[in-house]
Amino acid sequence: MAEKDNNKDAADFGIGIPVKKNPFFLKGLEHADWGIKDRMSRIFNPQSGNTVMLAFDHGYLMGPTSGLERMDLTITPLIEYADCIMCTRGALRAIVPPTSNKPISLRFSAGTTVLTELNDECLLDIEDAIRVNASALAIMVAIGSKYEALTVKNLIRTADMGAKYGIPTLGVTAVGKELVRDTRFLALASRVCAENGATFVKTYFCETGFEQVVAACPVPIVIAGGKKLPENEALEFAWLAIQQGAAGVDMGRNVFQSEHPVAMIQAVRAVVHDQRTPKEAFDLYNTLKK
Ligand code: 5RP
């Protein structure tokens, strides 16, 4: 019998049933392309709307900082607990098992180390980001610095390249030594990133007015951890950030420099995804570390 003969006639056209709409769960991205939404849905958990990103890209700037001397020993065991990993291509190829199957926020700009002032940052090659199956391109943007225009240009170029291949751009707001991390600065820097094409923004938590920073940024914000704090304090500010509208954390030192990093990342998850209070999360940390 010919393939075209005796096929069941199409009859179930659902006439009168409105076409289903699927509003996207992350703010400001309703009109993003399918590939961008697909990757963002891998980075952010569609149930909680949030993400726990594990940042260990510090070596590109700081060299072998505490906790990252042997990433194969300290970072590899943490990967399974992260929703997304943020790292350089060097660390990725050296210590991340491809079988981890985690979305990667690839450090996409580089050029400055702690030995110099911020300088002439350059971009990686988009082909290499595609080669390693990056889910986001992380770009440093130094608002208020001498290199403001260069880093904004890098962001714009990255957002354009990312858009071409459906890869989101993460605008990472850098704070120069002379700048204060207050509401006004963080709101301005985050907004500049979003306006110039960042799909999501990484910035710092501030004690007062963080809600305004989030409200004024039209795309999701994740917060950096910053320098190592006692575990209960780190859980407290992660909780405050989530309560005030952050869509997650992109934490490094407060996880991998913890005395018990595997317990700490799970406690952070409890705050970010399960709406646990800082006290409950700290109790969980103490239980897990045993
Ligand atoms: C550096 C970064 C780091 O990834 C970021 O600061 C997160 O790490 P930490 O929680 O240790 O601050 O973006 O530019």
pLDDT at 180: 80
Is there an atom of ligand 1 within 6 Å of 251 CB?
A: yes
CA distance 78 to 66: 16
Is there an atom of ligand 1 within 6 Å of 228 CB?
A: no
Q: Are strands 221-224 and 104-107 parallel, antiparallel or unpaired?
A: unpaired
Q: Which atom of ligand 1 is nearest to the CA of 255?
A: 10
The pTM of the whole model exceeds 0.75: yes
3-state percent helix, strand, coil for the chain, nearest multiple of 5: 40, 15, 45
CA distance 40 to 201: 12
pLDDT at 3: 73
Per residue in 83-108, pLDDT (tens digit) is 999 999 999 999 999 999 999 999 99
Closest C-alpha among 162, 217, 161, 153 to residue 189: 217
Q: Across the chain, which distance is largest between two alpha carbons, in Å?
A: 79
Indicate the helix (H) or strand (E) that contains 186: helix 183-195
Fold (CATH) for 36-289: TIM Barrel (3.20.20)
Closest C-alpha among 162, 117, 116 to residue 139: 162
pLDDT at 182: 92
Mean pLDDT of 271-290: 97
Per residue in 50-72, pLDDT (tens digit) is 999 999 999 999 999 999 999 99
CA of 49 to the centre of ligand 1 (A): 21
CA distance 67 to 74: 7
Residue 153 appears among annotated catalytic residues: no
Average pLDDT across the chain, whole number: 96
Per residue in 214-233, pLDDT (tens digit) is 999 999 999 999 999 999 99
pLDDT at 178: 67
Q: Whose CA is nearest to atom 8 of ligand 1?
A: 252
What is the three-class DSSP state of 229?
Answer: coil
Indicate the helix (H) or strand (E) that contains 91: helix 89-95
| Residue whose CB lies within 8 A of the most ligand 1 atoms, among 54, 172, 181, for a mutation test | 172
CA of 204 to the centre of ligand 1 (A): 10
* Cβ–Cβ under 8 Å, residues 40 and 227: no
What percentage of residues in the chain have a pLDDT greater than 70?
99
CA of 225 to the centre of ligand 1 (A): 7
Catalytic residue among 4, 202, 227, 228: 202
Domain ranges for the chain: 36-289
Q: In whole angstroms, how large is the CA radius of gyration of the chain?
A: 21
pLDDT at 141 over 80: yes
* Cβ–Cβ under 8 Å, residues 162 and 124: no
